[in-house]
């Protein structure tokens, strides 16, 4: 987004005051963050269904030991797809992290909104109900089928849980979905449509159809005998992404509102860039011009230069597109690209598809807050086309003033968010 139509007096600063995570590395922020810093892999054999030898890919990064009843009653749990269960859990954690049990006292409900993305929605529900249709006939399809699987339902459920009546919708842009959600939510606050927003994304796609579909595209790793080392962004021998699941949510609010209620501020969202490749249904253009545009827009929005960037949380999926992203980063940041860490936490979490952007926003916020950068694990053989510092020797400690986080999706959707340390 360009700042050409804004002035400093009419654009409000936006900060992160709450964060929640359900991930393959941990079921809350603390365990996830500790696991990432330690280089913990979330990969393993698929347990969600019987992934027989017929499946080319039989590995994934699954959420482990998740109990939805910590966040909802049994009746609601039965009526919500796994993706929505994750979403409510992450949102509940984020609200608690922000010191909120509900809408702050005195705030009109229409000043607090929700934007929550998902690339696919409740695909497990879709598959289950389709089997009922085929095996038992149309009268056996659940009346909850439609509201259980539509991608927007998590945003609706979050708004209903806390009575949030502000801007409320879902973003659906494949693997850029929740990055769009965070960026859009920040813009709504920046331009005065709301004072607070819950933003994030969710995904639960470790299902037979999803695994078969991605495998048919040859997009996923087939390193089935070594799931912990299968996701290897930027490594010469990468052979596809490892699918993950989970959810991440942030509470965003204006600086004025956060200060007035004495909130803890974790980081500031200072830039949002977005673009379309208009090139191919799944592949990026060889020079990554769409990614370049998104990164440049994020820097412009932030009023920043390449020299202000100390870290990039790359999209880094462990596919051939890693080389395209590396090229784009070098084009945008110039020599600065060789002085910073460009990491991919998907090496540990796998690819959470529509939830990945929000999760990596939180990871980036933690990096600028603590000055600790998670490693990119499983990097063993250098690729000449991927020649930056990916923190493949372990966690890196250094001050990070501002960082970029990239999210790119099938269809040519590109998002870059700029996150600045709050001092």
pLDDT tens digits, one per residue of 223-236: 999 999 999 999 99
pLDDT at 423: 85
Class of domain 273-421 (CATH, top level)? alpha beta
Alpha-carbon torsion 73, 75, 78, 83, what sign? Answer: negative
Residues designated catalytic: 175, 315, 351
Residue 390 has pLDDT above 70, yes or no: yes
Residue 6 has pLDDT above 70, yes or no: no
pLDDT at 101: 95
pLDDT at 4: 41
pLDDT at 339: 98
Q: Hunting for tokens 């087939």 — which residue is that?
A: 222
Buried b vs exposed e over 62-94: b needs ≥16 C-beta within 10 Å?
bbeebebeebbeeebbeebbbbbbbbbbbbbbb
pLDDT at 10: 52
Domain ranges of the chain: 14-260, 273-421
Across 174-194, average pLDDT: 98
Segment 57-100, tens digit of pLDDT: 999 999 999 999 999 999 999 999 999 999 999 999 999 999 99
Q: Where are the alpha helices (DSSP H) in 261-355?
A: 289-302, 321-333, 346-349
CATH topology match: 14-260 vs 273-421: yes
> Taking a C-beta distance cutoff of 8 angstroms, is the pair 142, 131 a contact?
no
Q: Could you tell me the fold of the domain covering 14-260?
A: Peroxisomal Thiolase; Chain A, domain 1 (3.40.47)
């Amino acid at each position: 987004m360009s700042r050409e139509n804004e002035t400093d007096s009419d654009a409000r600063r936006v900060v992160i005051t709450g964060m929640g995570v359900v991930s393959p590395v941990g079921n809350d922020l603390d365990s996830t963050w500790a696991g990432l810093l330690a280089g913990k892999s979330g990969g393993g054999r698929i347990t969600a269904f019987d992934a027989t030898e017929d499946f080319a890919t039989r590995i994934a990064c699954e959420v482990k030991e998740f109990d939805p009843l910590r966040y909802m009653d049994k009746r609601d749990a039965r009526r919500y797809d796994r993706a929505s269960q994750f979403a409510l859990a992450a949102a509940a954690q984020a609200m608690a992290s922000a010191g909120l049990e509900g809408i702050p006292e005195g705030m009109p409900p229409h000043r607090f909104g929700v934007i929550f993305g998902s690339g696919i929605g409740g695909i497990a529900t879709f598959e289950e109900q389709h089997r009922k249709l085929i095996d038992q006939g149309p009268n056996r399809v659940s009346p909850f089928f439609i509201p259980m699987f539509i991608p927007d339902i998590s945003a609706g459920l979050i708004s209903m849980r806390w009575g949030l009546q502000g801007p409320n919708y879902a973003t659906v842009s494949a693997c850029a979905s929740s990055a769009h959600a965070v960026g859009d939510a920040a813009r709504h606050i920046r331009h005065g449509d709301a004072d607070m927003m819950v933003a994030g994304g969710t995904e639960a796609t470790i299902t037979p159809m999803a695994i078969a579909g991605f495998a048919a595209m040859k997009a996923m790793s087939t390193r089935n005998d070594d799931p912990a080392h299968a996701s290897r962004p930027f490594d010469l021998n990468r052979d596809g992404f490892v699918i993950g699941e989970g959810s991440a949510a942030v509470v965003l609010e204006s600086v004025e509102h956060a200060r007035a209620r004495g909130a803890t501020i974790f980081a500031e969202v200072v830039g949002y860039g977005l673009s379309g490749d208009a090139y191919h249904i799944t592949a990026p253009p060889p020079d990554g011009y769409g990614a370049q545009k998104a990164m440049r827009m994020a820097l412009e929005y932030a009023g920043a230069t390449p020299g202000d960037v100390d870290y990039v949380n790359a999209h880094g999926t462990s596919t051939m597109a890693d080389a395209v992203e590396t090229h784009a980063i070098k084009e945008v940041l110039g020599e600065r690209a060789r002085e910073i860490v460009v990491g991919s936490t998907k090496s540990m979490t796998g690819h959470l598809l529509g939830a990945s952007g929000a999760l990596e926003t939180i990871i980036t916020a933690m990096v600028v807050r603590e000055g600790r950068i998670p490693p990119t694990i499983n990097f063993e053989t250098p690729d000449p086309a991927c020649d930056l510092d990916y923190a493949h020797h372990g966690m890196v400690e250094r001050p990070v003033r501002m960082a970029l986080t990239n999210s790119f999706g099938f269809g040519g959707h590109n998002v870059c968010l700029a996150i600045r340390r709050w001092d």
